[in-house]
């Protein structure tokens, strides 16, 4: 007798037959007496088709109108889903962003949800309807259509679960949970039973695509338990929840990697107050996301500064940095696109010593040179040569025994 929010991704609603299967799946819950709110993405490929159409019209489509165009993708999905449920003899009702309403700011293409009204949803649920809500879309204060950015349907689902005080937010996708690392890289990768919001955030920021970062942040903020699971099996997935004492017993939960960054080093920078700010300012102005930043202790008032940027922004960044470097009298600027970042993640790190050392040793054993190191409370990241990425992931997965279920160890 619970209220459940379920989100089905694009591959889960890729065609009429798949939408019918999702309807059957949802009805299984409904028949058990649960109230079900379903959030749907656009049919697989549809959003890309619409973007292509817009770009055929103009290489830089106006963001407001692009959102109007893209929002049709999810609108088609929810209408077809409601038709499927009704054709099976049950009652359903689709609701679009403006009908719910899902209130957002006016940042087209990457809007943030401010508030979710629940009145209309609750009214439809009381009439014993399955409520299908278009993911990814909202409405700003002027009634303009906004979209939440790639993977935004996850955020829609979590925001709805928070607003409706749902028992759980189930994210149905084409993988059956969150793994200790990418199974394509490391065959020993193991599906996690449970993971904390913070660990999930670190995994997601490293490119694990099962959940959108914003959705996890939202879930953390409002304490919404998420289950990530497969549309195509009935297997239990991975619970993403608030951290518990128990979780700290597991030192490392997962290994993540990211090949989408490039490294820029400014050599022999005069180490004066404000120099780092001055060097990075042109990046911020160009809205280039600077990730890792490392500066060593200076020697004789001279230091080196290294940071990473998305590969797509590498050339632009090199140009901008070189200009400032000249200006401030730095020796030279070095760039390297052939890097990767590997990270170990785990809330247990906080209370365990020697984790970093174990990581560095494992990489050293394979003669993998570490170019940069950066640590946070629950993550240690190393920048290495790109060609060693897969090897490094497997070595670290082994080193921390991630193939073994920690539950069984106790």
**Strands across the sheet with 372-376, in order?**
254-258, 339-345, 379-385, 372-376
The residue among 75 and 298 lying less far from a copy of itself, judged by its C-beta, is 75
Backbone angles phi, psi at 356, to 5 degrees: -60, -45
Give me the least distance between CB of 214 and a copy of itself, in Å please.
Answer: 24
Q: What distance in Å separates the CA atoms of residue 379 and residue 386, rounded to the nearest whole number?
A: 20
- The 3-state DSSP class for residue 370 equals coil
Cα R_g (the chain), whole angstroms? 23
Give me the least distance between CB of 118 and a copy of itself, in Å please.
Answer: 15
Both tokens of 390, joined, read 């897969």
Cα-to-chain-centroid distance, residue 43: 20
- The 3-state DSSP class for residue 256 equals strand
Cα-to-chain-centroid distance, residue 10: 16
The residue among 94 and 303 lying less far from a copy of itself, judged by its C-beta, is 94
The residue among 55 and 376 lying less far from a copy of itself, judged by its C-beta, is 55
Give me the least distance between CB of 130 and a copy of itself, in Å please.
Answer: 12
Among the listed residues 252, 112, 258, 157, the one whose alpha carbon sits nearest the alpha carbon of residue 196: 252
Give me the least distance between CB of 172 and a copy of itself, in Å please.
Answer: 19
Give me the least distance between CB of 154 and a copy of itself, in Å please.
Answer: 22
The residue among 68 and 168 lying less far from a copy of itself, judged by its C-beta, is 68
Give me the least distance between CB of 112 and a copy of itself, in Å please.
Answer: 21
Extended beta strands in 41-90, E state: none
Q: What distance in Å separates the CA atoms of residue 54 and residue 72, rounded to the nearest whole number?
A: 13
**Token pair 């070595």: residue:** 395
The residue among 11 and 298 lying less far from a copy of itself, judged by its C-beta, is 11
The residue among 123 and 326 lying less far from a copy of itself, judged by its C-beta, is 123
The residue among 29 and 90 lying less far from a copy of itself, judged by its C-beta, is 90
Helices (H) and strands (E) in the chain, counts: 13, 20
Give me the least distance between CB of 58 and a copy of itself, in Å please.
Answer: 3
| Pair type for strands 130-134 and 35-40 | parallel
The residue among 71 and 256 lying less far from a copy of itself, judged by its C-beta, is 71
Give me the least distance between CB of 70 and a copy of itself, in Å please.
Answer: 8
Give me the least distance between CB of 69 and a copy of itself, in Å please.
Answer: 4
The reply to whether omega before 16 is within 30° of 0 (cis) is: no
Backbone angles phi, psi at 369, to 5 degrees: -80, 135
Q: Euclidean distance between the first and final Cα of the chain, in Å?
A: 34
The residue among 82 and 192 lying less far from a copy of itself, judged by its C-beta, is 82
The residue among 39 and 330 lying less far from a copy of itself, judged by its C-beta, is 39
Give me the least distance between CB of 44 and a copy of itself, in Å please.
Answer: 15
Q: Enumerate binding residues for a copy of itself (CB under 8 A).
A: 16, 19-20, 50, 53-54, 56-58, 60-62, 64-66, 68-69, 71-72, 75-76, 78-80, 82-84, 86-87, 92-94, 96, 98-99, 120, 143-145
Among the listed residues 70, 92, 71, the one whose alpha carbon sits nearest the alpha carbon of residue 24: 92
Q: How many CB atoms lie within 10 A of CB 290?
A: 16
Residue pair 36/30 in contact (Cβ under 8 Å)? The answer is yes
Sign of the dihedral defined by the CA atoms of residues 112, 115, 117, 118, in that order: positive
Sign of the dihedral defined by the CA atoms of residues 364, 368, 373, 377, in that order: negative
Cα-to-chain-centroid distance, residue 379: 16
């Amino acid at each position: 007798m619970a209220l459940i929010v379920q989100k089905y991704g694009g591959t889960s609603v890729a065609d009429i037959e798949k939408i019918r299967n999702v309807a059957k799946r949802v009805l299984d819950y409904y028949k058990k007496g649960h109230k079900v709110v379903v959030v749907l993405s656009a049919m697989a490929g549809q959003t890309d088709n619409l973007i292509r159409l817009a770009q055929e019209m103009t290489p830089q489509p106006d963001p407001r109108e692009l959102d109007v165009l893209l929002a049709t993708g999810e609108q088609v999905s929810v209408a077809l889903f409601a038709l499927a449920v009704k054709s099976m003899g049950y009652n359903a009702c689709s609701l679009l962003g403006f009908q719910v309403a899902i209130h957002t700011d006016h940042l087209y293409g990457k809007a943030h949800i401010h508030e979710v009204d629940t009145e209309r949803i609750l009214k439809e649920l009381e009439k014993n309807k399955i409520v299908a809500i278009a993911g990814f879309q909202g409405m700003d204060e002027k009634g303009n259509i906004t979209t939440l950015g790639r993977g935004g349907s996850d955020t829609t689902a979590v925001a709805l679960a928070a607003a409706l005080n749902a028992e759980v937010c189930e994210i149905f996708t084409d993988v059956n949970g969150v793994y200790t690392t990418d199974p394509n890289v490391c065959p020993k990768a193991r599906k996690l039973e449970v993971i904390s919001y913070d660990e999930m955030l670190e995994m997601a920021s490293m490119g694990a695509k099962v959940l959108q970062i914003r959705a996890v942040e939202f879930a953390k903020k409002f304490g919404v338990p998420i289950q990530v699971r497969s549309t195509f099996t009935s297997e239990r997935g991975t619970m993403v929840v608030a951290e518990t004492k128990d979780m700290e017993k597991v030192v490392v939960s997962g290994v993540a990697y990211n090949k989408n960054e490039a490294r820029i080093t400014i050599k022999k920078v005069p180490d004066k107050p404000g120099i780092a700010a001055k060097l990075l300012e042109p990046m911020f102005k160009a809205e280039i996301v600077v990730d890792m930043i490392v500066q060593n202790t200076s020697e004789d008032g001279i230091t080196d500064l290294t940071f990473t940027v998305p590969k797509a922004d590498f050339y632009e960044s090199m140009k901008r940095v070189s200009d400032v470097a000249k200006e401030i009298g730095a020796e030279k600027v070095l760039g390297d696109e052939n890097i990767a970042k590997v990270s170990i993640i785990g809330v247990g790190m906080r209370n365990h010593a020697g984790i970093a050392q174990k990581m560095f040793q494992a990489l050293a054993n394979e003669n993998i040179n570490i170019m940069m190191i950066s640590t946070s409370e629950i993550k240690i990241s190393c920048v290495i040569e790109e060609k060693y990425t897969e090897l490094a992931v497997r070595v670290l997965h082994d080193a921390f025994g991630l193939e073994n279920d920690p539950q069984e160890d106790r």
